Chain A
Amino acid sequence: MTSFTITLANQGGAAFDVDHRKPLLQSLREQGVDLPYGCQYGGCISCAAKIISGKVNQQAQRALNNRQINNGYIILCVARPLSDCTLEVGVESHDKLYRNPFLDPLAAHELKADIATPLDEEK
Chain B
Amino acid sequence: MTNHCCGPGYASPAEAMTAPREKLLYTIAIYTGTGIQKPDYLCTIDVDPESSTYSQVISRLQMPGIGDELHHSGWNACSSCHGDASMERKYLIVPGVRSSNLHIVDCGTDPRNPTLFKVISGADIKTRTNLSAPHTVHCLGSDIIVSMLGDAQGNAPGGYLQLSKEFEIVGRWENSMGGIKFGYDFWYQPRHNVMVSSEWAAPNTFMPGFDLEEVGHLKYGREIHFWDFEKKEPKQTFYLGEDGLIPLEVRFHHNPDSSHGFVGAALSANIIHWWKDAAGAWQWEKIIDVDNEPHPEWPIPIPGVISVILLSMDDRYLYLCNWLHGDIRQYDISDPHNAKLTGQVWMGGLLGRAPEVNGVKVTGGPQMIQLSLDGKRLYVTTSLFSTWDNQFYPEIRTNGGCMLMVNCDTENGGMEIDPRFVVDFGKEPNGPSRCHETRYPGGDCTSDIWV
Q: Is B211 positioned at the interface, with any CB of A under 8 Å from its CB?
A: yes
Q: Is A14 positioned at the interface, with any CB of B under 8 Å from its CB?
A: no
Which B residues lie within 8 Å of A65 (CB)? 208, 211
Residue ID in chain B nearest A67 by CB atoms:
B211
The 0/1 profile, CB within 8 Å of A marked 1, for residues 25-40 of chain B is 0000000111101000
Q: Is B217 positioned at the interface, with any CB of A under 8 Å from its CB?
A: yes
Min CB distance B208 to A, Å, is: 4
Contact flag A64-B302 (CB < 8 Å), given A92-B35, A105-B213: no
Q: Is A17 positioned at the interface, with any CB of B under 8 Å from its CB?
A: no
B interface: dominant SS = loop
Which A residues lie within 8 Å of B212 (CB)? 101-102, 105
Q: How far is the CA of A64 from the CA of B207 in the complex (A)?
A: 10
Q: Is B275 positioned at the interface, with any CB of A under 8 Å from its CB?
A: no
- Interface size in chain A (residues, C-beta < 8 A): 32
Q: How far is the CA of A72 from the CA of B204 in the complex (A)?
A: 19
Q: How far is the CA of A65 from the CA of B204 in the complex (A)?
A: 11
Q: How far is the CA of A63 from the CA of B153 in the complex (A)?
A: 11
Q: Which of B136-144, B224-232, B384-392 contacts A (4 or more CB under 8 A)?
A: B384-392
Residue ID in chain B nearest A36 by CB atoms:
B67
Q: Are B207 and A115 closer than 8 Å at their CB atoms? A: no
Which A residues lie within 8 Å of B387 (CB)? 44-45, 98
Which B residues lie within 8 Å of A97 (CB)? 209, 390
Q: How far is the CA of A68 from the CA of B213 in the complex (A)?
A: 15
Which B residues lie within 8 Å of A99 (CB)? 391
Contact flag A39-B219 (CB < 8 Å), given A62-B204, A105-B213, A115-B214: no
Contact flag A111-B211 (CB < 8 Å), given A39-B154, A98-B391: yes
Q: How far is the CA of A21 from the CA of B387 in the complex (A)?
A: 29
Q: Is A106 positioned at the interface, with any CB of B under 8 Å from its CB?
A: yes
Which B residues lie within 8 Å of A100 (CB)? 391-392
Q: Are B208 and A44 closer than 8 Å at their CB atoms? A: yes
Residue ID in chain B nearest A48 by CB atoms:
B208
Residue ID in chain B nearest A46 by CB atoms:
B67
Q: How far is the CA of A14 from the CA of B107 in the complex (A)?
A: 43
Q: Are B207 and A38 closer than 8 Å at their CB atoms? A: yes
The 0/1 profile, CB within 8 Å of A marked 1, for residues 379-398 of chain B is 00000001100111010010
Most chain A Cβ neighbours within 10 Å, of B34, B66, B208, B212? B208
Q: Are A45 and B209 closer than 8 Å at their CB atoms? A: yes
Q: Are B203 and A43 closer than 8 Å at their CB atoms? A: yes
Q: Are A43 and B208 closer than 8 Å at their CB atoms? A: yes
The 0/1 profile, CB within 8 Å of A marked 1, for residues 195-227 of chain B is 000000001100111111110010100000000
Which A residues lie within 8 Å of B146 (CB)? none
Q: Are A90 and B35 closer than 8 Å at their CB atoms? A: yes
Min CB distance B37 to A, Å, is: 5
Interface residues of B in 371-411 (CB under 8 A from A): 386-387, 390-392, 394, 397
Q: Is B361 positioned at the interface, with any CB of A under 8 Å from its CB?
A: no
Q: How far is the CA of A98 from the CA of B392 in the complex (A)?
A: 9
Q: Are B204 and A63 closer than 8 Å at their CB atoms? A: yes
Q: Is B280 positioned at the interface, with any CB of A under 8 Å from its CB?
A: no
Min CB distance A111 to B, Å, is: 6
Chain B residues touching A, range: 35 or more
Q: Are B391 and A46 closer than 8 Å at their CB atoms? A: no
Which B residues lie within 8 Å of A98 (CB)? 209, 387, 390-391, 394
Q: How far is the CA of A45 from the CA of B388 in the complex (A)?
A: 12
The 0/1 profile, CB within 8 Å of B marked 1, for residues 37-64 of chain A is 1111111111000000000000000111
Q: Are A39 and B37 closer than 8 Å at their CB atoms? A: no
Which A residues lie within 8 Å of B154 (CB)? 39, 41-44, 62
Q: Are A111 and B132 closer than 8 Å at their CB atoms? A: no
Selected contact of B204 from candidates A43, A90, A91, A105, CB within 8 Å: A43
Q: Are A39 and B99 closer than 8 Å at their CB atoms? A: yes
Which A residues lie within 8 Å of B33 (CB)? 36, 46, 91
Residue ID in chain A nearest B300 by CB atoms:
A102
Most chain B Cβ neighbours within 10 Å, of A39, A97, A102, A112? A39
Which A residues lie within 8 Å of B153 (CB)? 41, 43, 62
Q: Are B207 and A44 closer than 8 Å at their CB atoms? A: yes
Q: Is B147 positioned at the interface, with any CB of A under 8 Å from its CB?
A: no
User: Residues of A at under 8 Å CB distance from B?
Assistant: 34, 36-46, 62-65, 90-92, 94, 97-103, 105-106, 111-112, 115
Q: 20 extra interchain contacts, Cβ-Cβ under 8 A, other than A44-B387, A98-B390?
A: A36-B35, A39-B203, A41-B132, A44-B208, A45-B208, A46-B69, A46-B98, A46-B386, A64-B208, A91-B34, A97-B209, A98-B391, A100-B391, A100-B392, A101-B212, A103-B298, A103-B299, A105-B213, A111-B217, A115-B217
Please name the 7 residue pairs, one residue from A and one from B, whose CB atoms are nearest each other, closest first. Answer: A38-B98, A91-B35, A43-B154, A45-B208, A43-B204, A62-B204, A44-B207
Name 24 A/B residue pairs within 8 A (Cβ), A-sorted: A36-B33, A36-B37, A38-B32, A38-B207, A39-B98, A39-B99, A39-B132, A39-B133, A41-B153, A41-B154, A45-B208, A46-B67, A62-B204, A64-B208, A90-B35, A99-B391, A100-B392, A101-B211, A102-B212, A105-B212, A106-B213, A111-B211, A111-B214, A112-B211
